[in-house]
Structure 1
Amino acid sequence: MPHLDHTAFVTACRDERGVGHHTLRAYAQDLRTFARFTKDRHLTDPLSKDDILAYHRHLRDELDAKPATIERRLVTLKSYFAWRADRNSALPSPFADVRISVRIPRRLPRPIDRETLKAVLQSETGPTNARPADQEITILIIKLLIVTGLRISELTTLKIRDISADASQMIVRGKGNRERIVFVPNTELQEAFRRYCADRARHGSLQSPLFLNAVGRRLRSQTFRKRLRVLSHRLDITPHLTPHRFRHSAATLLFEEGIDIRMIQALLGHANLRTTEIYVRVSNHALRRALERVDVLSELRQ
């Protein structure tokens, strides 16, 4: 069986490429899946093109993996073998002559409709089983997600030092550890955010996490997702609220208000404009639904 140096590869991705925690965890999982495959098939180095094609069939036919999962696992594996070959020329990558095309259905984002967003903001309370302070923080974070389009991981890893004195802007570290400046445009929200940041600065150092959980530690993404599930249940919102749906909503609302797509790309931190262009399709879908609701011809017949 070939030796897959998971730890060294993941460490290199973290230290040399600035890959995020969630991606690193996915890399490790992908490589463990391949390691099990090579062990079951009694494969040894050097691996061949046929071994990679067999692994593709294994993912598709035996594990019944989704196309997106198959693509990710192959991309991870290809990156790993390229990294290994660079370290040891005696072990060439088996992907050298492999051409695998994985067709991935393009799924539209699912933004939260305006009426639901209004209901959430008008509730002005978080989950009823949360402490009053946690309720306020939940709503503050929701508002920030709506106006900034941040990923929840970007928001929960913010430190006090990352926020400007007037809380009008923040330094955000996105995928690949790329930094960008994100603005808080709403005056009322900016003032509430400033008060919150000032209070945190009085009780923590500049290196301290900006958002804390109930026990005074950094608020984790999963904890906030659980809060949103509770809030969704209380307000009878289906499908339930998620941080990424707020991100989709931020992009869609801005596009519908006429903001240039390249500005939205900068706000969201997308490296490729094609990733942002999907919101054009979302807005067209919203336009079609609006036209169907109005039904102008029926109105003219009355």
Structure 2
Amino acid sequence: MKQWISDFLNYKKNYHNLSSRTIKAYHSDLSLLADYCLNQEVAFPEGIILFINKLNQEDQLKISSLKRKLITYRMFYKYLTSNELIPRNQQFEDTRISYPKQKKMPKTLRISEINHLLSTMYTRVQSNAISAYQRKNCTRDIALLELLISTGIRISEASNINLNDYNLSDNSLLIHGKNSKERLIYLSSTETKQAISSYLNIRKDYRPVDHSLFINKYGTRLSIYGIEDIFSKYLKIANIETTATPHYLRHTFATELLNNGANIREVQELLGHSSIVTTQIYTEVSMERKRHVLNTYNYRNSMIIKTSK
């Protein structure tokens, strides 16, 4: 079986131009399967279902990891049957595996952390200790993070914004969302509007070669990876110890809207979700926070007088 695995990996590498990282993942998944079949003395492909069910029951892997392994194993099976190395197994082909649904709660940042992050950035841009080049970048970065914080847009959407998408007269912004869907949002924060205005005043210093709103040092569109790097950079400068990504800002935006009384339909529209089911996960986060606040701070909890038995 190990020779089959080696031949399969060479085939995928040479004919499908896969990255070394993907080939390495395939090798790891298939080696685990081969070891299992050998140790349990089960044949291939019967061992696939047994192995996946075993991992499923152990509940140590994410569902996405289990699904990836099964996809790899099915590709391997198809390769072997196509090359007539093993006979087709109809029972295996007809088998479907059910996975327990995992509900992922959206991760957020504390408001105090966001406040500290912005405070650090504004202090930095006004400091005489940084160069003109650093001040230029900081001005852009403040506008970018202010926009992410105050609108909850995706970083891909921030990257795709063009100059003509921003209407200065009514402070509206045309967002190009997923599946070519567009939505109009408004900048309600005075600080965010001022931050973008300050950035637009110095945007020409980047010598832009296109009409992207946020551009990099080469004058071209700032990528999502560039945005992620900027976010990580200022978390580090602000000494905020967290594994947060810029997407946490989107989660925080949605959760706080609900915490402050916004209607779920309104939040759905602002976030650009095609289905309200996607938005409903934030109501659970909101309720968890309310439950925590009430359990922790409600004065009635600590009163001595008891009327209940």
TM-score bin (small chain): 0.5 to 0.7
Question: Is 1:182 equivalent to 2:179 in the alignment?
Answer: no
- CA 1:299–1:51 in 2, change beyond 3 Å: closer, same or farther? closer
Structure 1 distance, partners of 2:92, 2:22, is: 16
User: AA paired with 2:100?
Assistant: R
- CA 1:37–1:227 in 2, change beyond 3 Å: closer, same or farther? closer
Q: CA RMSD in A?
A: 4.5
User: What is the CA distance between 1:35 and its match in structure 2?
Assistant: 11
Alignment of 1:101-180 (within 5 A): 101-123=98-120, 124-125=122-123, 131-166=134-169, 168-180=171-183
Alignment of 1:32-43 (within 5 A): none
Q: What does the per-residue CA deviation read over 1:133-172, in whole Å, with 9 as the maximum and x for residues that have no partner?
A: 1112222211111111111121112222222243722222
User: What is the CA distance between 1:266 and its match in structure 2?
Assistant: 1.4
User: AA paired with 2:272?
Assistant: G
Structure 1 distance, partners of 2:284, 2:250, is: 16
Question: Is 1:100 equivalent to 2:97 in the alignment?
Answer: yes
* Partner of residue 18, structure 1: none
User: What is the CA distance between 1:268 and its match in structure 2?
Assistant: 1.2
Higher-Rg structure is 2
Aligned residues: 267
Q: Provide structure 1 residue ranges, at least 5 long, that are not aligned to the other structure.
A: 9-24, 42-48, 79-93
User: AA paired with 2:146?
Assistant: K
Structure 2 distance, partners of 1:113, 1:230, is: 18
Structure 1 distance, partners of 2:190, 2:219, is: 28
User: AA paired with 2:106?
Assistant: P
User: What is the CA distance between 1:116 and its match in structure 2?
Assistant: 1.4
TM-score (norm 2): 0.65
User: AA paired with 1:68?
Assistant: S
User: AA paired with 2:261?
Assistant: G
**Contact kept in structure 2, 1:125 and 1:139, CA below 8 Å:** no
- CA 1:152–1:60 in 2, change beyond 3 Å: closer, same or farther? same
**Contact kept in structure 1, 2:173 and 2:184, CA below 8 Å:** yes
* Partner of residue 87, structure 1: none
- CA 1:223–1:299 in 2, change beyond 3 Å: closer, same or farther? same
User: AA paired with 1:160?
Assistant: L
Structure 2 distance, partners of 1:35, 1:172, is: 41
- CA 1:300–1:33 in 2, change beyond 3 Å: closer, same or farther? closer
Alignment of 1:1-302 (within 5 A): 66-71=62-67, 97-123=94-120, 124-125=122-123, 131-166=134-169, 168-197=171-200, 200=203, 204=208, 207-297=210-300, 300-301=303-304
- CA 1:75–1:109 in 2, change beyond 3 Å: closer, same or farther? farther
TM-score (norm 1): 0.67
- CA 1:185–1:97 in 2, change beyond 3 Å: closer, same or farther? farther
User: What is the CA distance between 1:225 and its match in structure 2?
Assistant: 2.1
Structure 2 distance, partners of 1:238, 1:279, is: 24
